[in-house]
Amino acid sequence: MPKHRFFVPPERFCDGVVCIAGEDARQIRTVLRLQPGDEIGVLDGSGREYHCVLESVRKDESVARVHRWISLDVEPRVHITVVQSLAKGDKVERVIQHGTEIGVARFVLVQTERSVVRLHDDQVGKRLERWRRIAKEAAEQAHRAVVPVIEGVTSLHYALEMLNGASVLTLHPDNSAVPLVEWAQYDSFPMRVALIVGPEGGLTDEEVALCARHGAVAVSLMPRILRTETAALVAVSQILFSADLAGRNPTPP
């Protein structure tokens, strides 16, 4: 299996040759110092990994020829969306990086009432570009077959509207919340799960009620309070473990 892997848009493939441009081309030439004849893995997001041999290495573009391809079966059977509230520092970046590594399929970034960070419209584009780059690099490193989708920044209301067909869970450390491990013991497991994660100060009662009106179940993780950048990762791990524990086959919600 190739040591170095790159996600490339499908339109970059033509007649058994793939052209790799931009930051990936710079990494191949300057960082990894690969040479013609070296083998790389190239993915187009369809679930296939193409084993290629570099034919040319230039500053702005590298060209590789496809020798064979394999079908990857590495993605979780459960499609998980993390609806993450904006948080200060690099917390969102850590959620995206590590969430990608463990199998999250989609991230939706939301501005909630207690979010410390407030992004203006002219800032959102740059943040999304950075978050998507982080997801791509994490997917390559973790040998994912696809790169998670990064959406937002939007309101909690609109994010909930985007979750049709998913079993929605609100991470909420409250005595009335159902322990996630109990929720995950249902006889049938949903094919799609969405997690609502609040910011540093948590979701407000009104936001929790809004989630409930959209069919969300309030769940808790443990008696202790987790940081926002930790909560989603623990929850995703529990869901994936529970889905695979007894070889359950996810069933439509």
Euclidean distance between CA atoms 151 and 77, whole angstroms: 21
CATH number of the structural domain spanning residue 103? 3.40.1280.10
Mean pLDDT for the chain overall: 90
Residue 251 lies in a domain: no
Q: Is the pLDDT of residue 238 over 80?
A: yes
Q: Using one digit for the tens of pLDDT, what is the confidence trace for 144-186?
A: 999 999 998 999 999 999 998 899 999 988 878 898 888 887 6
Residue 129 lies in a domain: yes
- Do 232 and 200 sit in the same domain of this protein? yes
- Do 29 and 85 sit in the same domain of this protein? no
Euclidean distance between CA atoms 26 and 6, whole angstroms: 12
Q: What is the pLDDT of residue 247?
A: 59
Q: Classify strands 17-21 and 61-71 as parallel, antiparallel or unpaired.
A: antiparallel
Euclidean distance between CA atoms 210 and 145, whole angstroms: 35
Last residue of a domain, one of 71, 97, 124: 71
Nearest to 180 by CA among 208, 135, 219: 219
The pTM of the full predicted model, rounded to 2 decimals, is 0.89
Average pLDDT on 74-88 reads 93
CATH number of the structural domain spanning residue 53? 2.40.240.20
- Do 169 and 89 sit in the same domain of this protein? yes
Residue 252 lies in a domain: no
Residue 233 lies in a domain: yes
Residue 107 lies in a domain: yes
Q: What's the structural domain count of the chain?
A: 2
Q: Is the pLDDT of residue 121 over 90?
A: no
Q: Is the pLDDT of residue 93 over 80?
A: yes
CA end-to-end span of the chain: 37
Q: What is the pLDDT of residue 27?
A: 93
- Do 97 and 160 sit in the same domain of this protein? yes
Euclidean distance between CA atoms 192 and 200, whole angstroms: 26
pLDDT band at 246 (very low <50, low <70, confident <90, very high): very low
Residue 250 lies in a domain: no
- Bigger pLDDT: 187 or 120? 120
Last residue of a domain, one of 15, 47, 71: 71
Last residue of a domain, one of 71, 91, 114: 71
Q: What is the pLDDT of residue 216?
A: 95
Residue 23 lies in a domain: yes
Residue 215 lies in a domain: yes
pLDDT band at 187 (very low <50, low <70, confident <90, very high): low
Q: What is the pLDDT of residue 250?
A: 47
Q: What is the pLDDT of residue 186?
A: 64
Phi, psi of 129 (to 5 degrees): -60, -45
Find the domain containing 202 and state its range.
Answer: 79-245
- Do 31 and 120 sit in the same domain of this protein? no
Q: Classify strands 217-220 and 106-111 as parallel, antiparallel or unpaired.
A: unpaired
